[in-house]
Chain A
């Protein structure tokens, strides 16, 4: 009996020793929450007299504290002299943890509330108005000239809460100077078009005819497995915004009509749009499995040549090219333009003032001046450029027009994750970002197609300029609106729509959230 008892006990001890060894393995990464400063390599270039800063950040998709995986970290440490230890929030539900940490009165030196956290602007506004954050305006204006120079006034306006601002905003980059990016479009298999002797559709009628033709003539021999246009429920939103909605005038969520903001839910165009989509659905031109499709399903249908058209973003192009290269080398695809009808067309997007992250300083932070100094140094034009792009002729080249092109693969190795470390951006950020967009020529071509070739279709949603504190007032209503509207859209597309059901929806929507949204948005819009 004794020896039998010994073996499991021995094994247990062995397992625990291994466990302890493994958990000490990663000890080279300096944890932000311990009081001892970092002990290893990356610190060697940080100044002795500058404190180690602790930061709380979102987006745990990278190893924040690893300078080998993220050379930009080593560069920043050396260039600014400050070592920063990052604690990342979890990937799921980061808002709850952030709320807990902030409400417990944390002493992180700075926190980056990234837009990847859902409801980031509302969180920022609430923390600011509840006094959990330091007022940054006096500090920045006095101690951070780079920040004052680099950041556009319209961005400060969005961060303004109670007359002052509590964050250093990081702008969401865009390849266009006047609007945010267009990300999505309907992709069509151009090789199948050739087979059908059809051309790229430009109007809605042409598009419908194309889908019908595809279904009837069955050029790929799929029989009744054909799906002219495949989509998921989530795709319905971008189908409206960027592809089809423009033909009915609902390519943005809100429109300026004679100086007032009007929501798409109340417009006739919305009714006609749903009517059209239901028509597609009942004829089988829109995938009847749409409610249960997932991204992977539609991808499968597209890559196995069952689907003629599919909605996706320009970043999916490299992967698609790769897949087609293996399974159907003759395949080719292209983005369709936003479709026109009776002179109406459009692809909706947001204003250029979108914020990717709010860098804030909690009330109890201990090294305030050092933090401001650090943030300021990062926006020094030279430091910012090298941090974002790397070294000229090693990581990137400049052409005669001043455009930046990446040198692969070093650009990616050196600055692939650089964007995550940004705490503020300057006026050159868009140019730098285009360098990243150019890293794959197919992807860049797709991007140009959507944003430049089809640039004349772009319409801006004026409601997206709304400042955070206004947004905070209506965030719950926006959430209800999205839920109620989505349910109505899906049911209408699948089961049909009548004037009565539409009117009932509008009344219900207005009662639950719509009236409040219209009031609050217009109150802001008409008085700005």
Chain B
């Protein structure tokens, strides 16, 4: 996001005289690109949506329809039993709550810590910053093994608690680099003038940098909440207490249960459910909440940082 533009968009021919012709040319040009954009994106949206509609339809279709492959984009033999089977249990509500808690608290904490940590690292001119940055980057690829990490967490005493869902993922270096990148695009002139006015670094950060960084915070909020909401490995490995189970685990269990045809075929036949429709219903139940995060964050993707630094 360059404020100090190196490219001013000056066309090769600087003719500003022929206003009338140029205006027609511009609108035609714009219309063509606009038209192509709409066409292309619409086509893409259709390609994305149709398979999804197919999957969602299976969640609401009858067993015989699924078994014979008759389900297209809309449900065949409409039923809501699969969805009810998934959500009508105390365990679902509990798992849902656990996931909600972990996601909300985790995202807030992660965003705060990552955003704060990225700030000093964006000041490349300060001594040792580059080295500290590398210390962080190194950890993107080098992590411990499953068992040693488990033993370490066991030693920390965080196993089987809510904290273990949040703490180990507190800083995601990948995301931190994205935030740092956005910080670096903020024109130094603004920061320097604030410094001249005698503001402390933290004040500058809080009052100046943070409000300007809403788009990237929104982005990282989306990314982090999706990761936390869908996290399977962490809860699976580090939590034993069934009461702390999160939604991905609950759903995997339900799907495994539905596919356990040997033991449960009777149950499924009685209720007219097929394993595939249960799997699809599980996806519907799991995905809808997290889908709502992005639209909420979208309003932060506001165009233009009107800070008056358009010169140059």
Report A's interface with B, CB cutoff 8 A: 12, 15-16, 18-29, 31-34, 56, 60-65, 86-88, 90-93, 96-97, 99-101, 103-104, 296, 299-300, 303-304, 313, 315-316, 318-319, 322-323, 326-327, 409, 412, 416-417, 419, 439-440, 443
Contacts and interface: CB of A to CB of B under 8 A. Distances in A.
Given A87-B240, A327-B64, A16 B265 contact: no
A506 to B, nearest CB: 35
13 contacts: A16-B105, A18-B100, A23-B101, A26-B94, A29-B242, A33-B160, A33-B241, A92-B256, A97-B236, A97-B237, A101-B240, A315-B265, A316-B265
B101 to A, nearest CB: 4
Contacts of B262: 313, 315
A413 to B, nearest CB: 10
Contact of B90 (A26, A97, A439): A26
B146 interface: yes
Nearest to A86: B242
B44 interface: no
Contacts of B236: 90, 92-93, 97
Given A19-B100, A31-B242, A318-B269, A91 B252 contact: yes
Please indicate which of the listed interface residues A23, A92, A439, A443 has the most CB atoms of chain B within 10 Å of its own CB: A23
A100 B256 contact: no
Given A31-B242, A100-B150, A327-B68, A91 B100 contact: no
A61 B240 contact: no
Interface in B166-188: none
A63 B67 CA distance: 28
A32 B265 contact: no
Contacts of A21: 97
Given A96-B237, A313-B262, A412-B267, A22 B256 contact: no
Contacts of B29: none
Contacts of A12: 104, 108
A362 B56 CA distance: 45
Contact of B253 (A22, A32, A91, A99): A91
B168 to A, nearest CB: 15
B119 interface: no
Contacts of A91: 252-253, 256
Contact of A103 (B147, B249, B260, B270): B147
A485 B157 CA distance: 45
Interface string B219-248: 000000000000010001100111110000
B160 A19 contact: no
Contacts of A304: 68-69
B97 A19 contact: yes
Given A104-B151, A303-B67, A303-B68, A319 B269 contact: yes
A61 B260 contact: yes
Given A104-B151, A313-B262, A327-B68, A32 B240 contact: yes
Contacts of A18: 97, 100
B154 interface: yes
A21 B93 CA distance: 9
A319 B68 contact: no
A100 B154 CA distance: 10
B252 A90 contact: yes
A417 B236 CA distance: 23
A300 B67 contact: yes
B265 A63 contact: no
A22 B96 contact: yes
A334 to B, nearest CB: 18
A305 B94 CA distance: 44
Given A18-B97, A61-B260, A326-B64, A26 B241 contact: no
A34 B243 CA distance: 11
A422 B151 CA distance: 31
Contacts of A319: 63, 67, 261, 265, 268-269, 274
A412 B271 CA distance: 14
Contact of A323 (B63, B100, B160, B249): B63
Given A64-B242, A300-B68, A100 B237 contact: yes
A100 B147 contact: yes
A88 B242 contact: yes
A23 B237 contact: no
B19 interface: no
Given A16-B104, A300-B67, 20 more contacts: A18-B100, A19-B104, A20-B97, A22-B93, A22-B98, A23-B243, A28-B90, A31-B242, A33-B240, A90-B252, A91-B252, A91-B256, A92-B252, A100-B151, A104-B151, A300-B69, A303-B68, A315-B265, A316-B261, A323-B68
Top 5 nearest A-B pairs (CB, nearest first) are: A22-B97, A26-B94, A23-B97, A19-B100, A91-B256
Nearest to A313: B262
B241 A34 contact: yes
Report which residue of B100, B240, B241, B260 has the largest number of chain A beta carbons within 10 angstroms of its beta carbon: B240
A33 B154 CA distance: 13
